[in-house]
Amino acid sequence: MIRAQTISRLLGWDSWLPLALAATLGSAVGVAALGFILPIRAALDWLSGSGPGHLGLWVLALPIAGALLAGVVARLMPTSFRGHGVSRVLLAVHRDQGQMRLGIGIRQWLRSTFTIASGGSAGPEGPIVTIGAALGASLAAWLGAGAQLRTTLLGCGAAAGLAAVFNAPLAGVFFVLEVILRDFTLRTFAPIVVAAVMGATTAQAILGSNEPLFGIAPEAFATDTFSISHLPWMCAVAILCGLAAGLFGRFCDWSQTQFERIRTSPLLVPVIGAALLALLGLGWVASTGERGLPHFYGDGYPAVVALLDQPPPGSTLSALGLLALALLVKSVATACTVSSGGAGGLFAPTLLLGAILGAACGLLLRSVGIEVSPMQTAVIGMGAFVAGSAMAPLTGAVLVYEVTGLDSIMLSSVAAAAIAVTAARLVNRESIYEGELRHYGVRLGVVSDSMLLRRQTIRDIGHTPAVAVRLDAPAESLKGLASTAETADIIAIDDSGRPVAVVAAADLRSALLNQSALAIMHVQDLARHDLPVLRLEDSLAEALERFSTADLDTLPVVGADGELLGVLTRTRMLLAYHRLLDSPS
């Protein structure tokens, strides 16, 4: 049953098994990332370059066709969760003890391919995080791993996927630690680093190139040098990008609420979002006369590269107007795709939004005589917007550093990312992922040691044998049980042996003071009947909540059929918690 522990014990490498599994998983996810990304990149390159010339009505038809195909996949592989990739992984970590079916990754793979390759305004990074996480969780399930290793392997898969896509292993590591697991212990950190490095290395070894699968090649930044003298202006850019990121999160949250109010089949709502995107694209092509895909279709990386290559032509005022329009259109396009239930991630859109806003800040600063390059402020804007939208400062800072390959940017990017998160929290207390989860009744709260309670289940710490008595038994029978019981509270059961009430120790002590009354009473007269029960798969966090609600020191643990297996005491649970805190990290 516990296959992972058996293998580890036989080979004598308890501390090395997670690292070996992480390396294997990272390589597998690196290959999967290639299989997922390359078809999407080929489709977008064809549409943007050698595709059907002036797209015309194709701009209208493509997103709708992609949404319809994604809807077919959703019909064939149904699930109750409509959110994008990262939110689904967060749900698995914080509500399902790291359990995630492989079918979820396959579903996300297919739906995201149809959505993004047809021009949907989303990125492939969120889906590859889901795919990697599903592979990691499936490996853990096959091994029969416990909650700790299961969640770690899920994080390893997610980190490897993101690292392979961007060729940025550190960004993958910090994204998983900051956003998904919220756990920086060494027990978690080491395997995730190994998986991220192996994911990026495997993908680049197969490609024979150091360029990211999606994103911007480091050569685009080779001519610019960041100086400490730029730091004050970069911090100003970070404040603006952080505020914009917080507002963007609120806008996506509002958009999702509006789409949820549409009274139609959930499978048709993404098609409505795609239709709105298509109308936006048709209007853009008609007004600008551009050939190929509009800049807000697909992942948007070609637009980022063009923006970094040179700022928009014309006067400063006209260039700022064009950038403001591009910022608005991309925000609306992303909301139409992702908030309507379309498949795709938010990394690429936030990178483009940050680049647009950062470039606009650079143009404005340069117009008043400050010597900064719009390309430099665009790069800072990318990291700041990602950090502000995900509430992940290390991820935003390290991602920009790894993508650019510029050592001189590190100080500015770290400061900018931290400031952006602070600014974003002024207008939105939640990350863009937490905002989506709230629509499904899931609130993550803050990072704390309670994460350990969410990772451990009743099965992991075991339970104490129960002392049970029939509900209709004479109350005097409790006297003998109380003197021999291992627990202070006694569980009352019905005719089928299921727990229905509890005789609390305090109530029994009060009853023993009046022996004459006790002789004519039954157990049901002393028992508390509003009794919550625990199951083996419940987490310790759920157990703590039920203890607090019931104000009891003992709760029954039941099996699949409701039969009494034993009891969990508050003391046993807290001792297990302290052992977790004291264990080597």
Query: Is residue 463 domain-shared with residue 553, that is, in the same domain?
Result: yes
Cβ-in-10-Å burial (0-12, 13-18, 19+) of 396 comes to buried
CA distance 214 to 344: 14
Question: For residue 350, is it within any domain?
Answer: yes
- Edge-first strand order for the sheet with 499-503 is 468-470, 490-493, 499-503
Asked which of 163, 193, 215 is the last residue of a domain, the reply is 215
Residue range(s) defining the domain that contains residue 516:
454-582
pLDDT in tens, the chain (585 residues): 445 555 545 444 456 788 888 899 999 999 998 898 888 888 877 776 644 445 556 667 788 888 888 888 888 887 766 666 788 888 788 777 778 888 888 888 888 888 888 888 888 888 899 899 999 988 988 888 777 788 888 989 999 999 888 888 898 899 988 888 877 777 778 899 999 999 999 988 888 776 665 555 555 555 556 666 677 888 889 999 999 999 999 998 898 888 888 887 777 888 898 888 888 888 777 776 666 677 788 777 777 777 776 666 666 777 788 888 888 989 999 988 888 888 888 888 898 899 899 988 888 888 877 777 788 888 889 899 999 998 889 998 888 888 777 777 788 888 899 999 999 999 988 888 887 777 665 666 544 455 667 777 888 888 888 877 887 787 777 766 655 555 567 888 887 778 888 877 777 777 666 666 667 777 777 777 778 888 888 888 788 888 877 777 788 888 877 888 888 888 888 787 777 655 544
CA distance 352 to 448: 33
- State the CATH number of the domain containing residue 510: 3.10.580.10
User: Is this prediction's pTM over 0.75?
Assistant: no
Mention every residue, 6+ apart, whose C-beta is less than 8 A from residue 289: none
Query: Is residue 191 domain-shared with residue 103, that is, in the same domain?
Result: yes
Query: Is residue 338 domain-shared with residue 470, that is, in the same domain?
Result: no
Question: For residue 445, is it within any domain?
Answer: no
- State the CATH number of the domain containing residue 319: 1.10.3080.10
State whether residue 342 is helix, strand or coil.
Answer: coil
212-229 burial string, b = 16+ CB within 10 Å, else e? bbbbbbbebbeeeebeee
Asked which of 395, 412, 438 is the last residue of a domain, the reply is 438
Query: Is residue 8 domain-shared with residue 99, that is, in the same domain?
Result: yes
Question: For residue 74, is it within any domain?
Answer: yes
Query: Is residue 71 domain-shared with residue 179, that is, in the same domain?
Result: yes
The distance in angstroms from the start CA to the end CA of the chain is 26
Question: For residue 446, is it within any domain?
Answer: no
Asked which of 193, 215, 237 is the last residue of a domain, the reply is 215
Query: Is residue 300 domain-shared with residue 286, that is, in the same domain?
Result: yes
- Backbone dihedral region of 245: left (phi > 0), alpha (psi from -120 to 50 degrees) or beta? alpha
Question: For residue 516, is it within any domain?
Answer: yes
CA distance 422 to 388: 8
Question: For residue 174, is it within any domain?
Answer: yes
Query: Is residue 211 domain-shared with residue 251, that is, in the same domain?
Result: no
State the total domains in the chain: 3
Q: Are 359 and 374 in contact (CB under 8 A)?
A: yes
Q: Are 475 and 492 in contact (CB under 8 A)?
A: no
Query: Is residue 473 domain-shared with residue 422, that is, in the same domain?
Result: no
Query: Is residue 425 domain-shared with residue 488, that is, in the same domain?
Result: no
128: its two tokens:
């590859």
Query: Is residue 253 domain-shared with residue 302, that is, in the same domain?
Result: yes
- Angle 19-21-24 from CA coordinates, rounded to 5°: 110
As a three-state string, the secondary structure of 491-521 is EEECCCCCEEEEECHHHHHHHHCCHHHHCCC
Question: For residue 444, is it within any domain?
Answer: no
Query: Is residue 525 domain-shared with residue 418, that is, in the same domain?
Result: no
Query: Is residue 363 domain-shared with residue 261, that is, in the same domain?
Result: yes
CA nearest to 419, candidates 282, 238, 265, 563: 238
Query: Mind giving me the DSSP string for 205-263?
Result: HHHT--S-SSS--GGGGTT----GGGHHHHHHHHHHHHHHHHHHHHHHHHHHHHHHT--
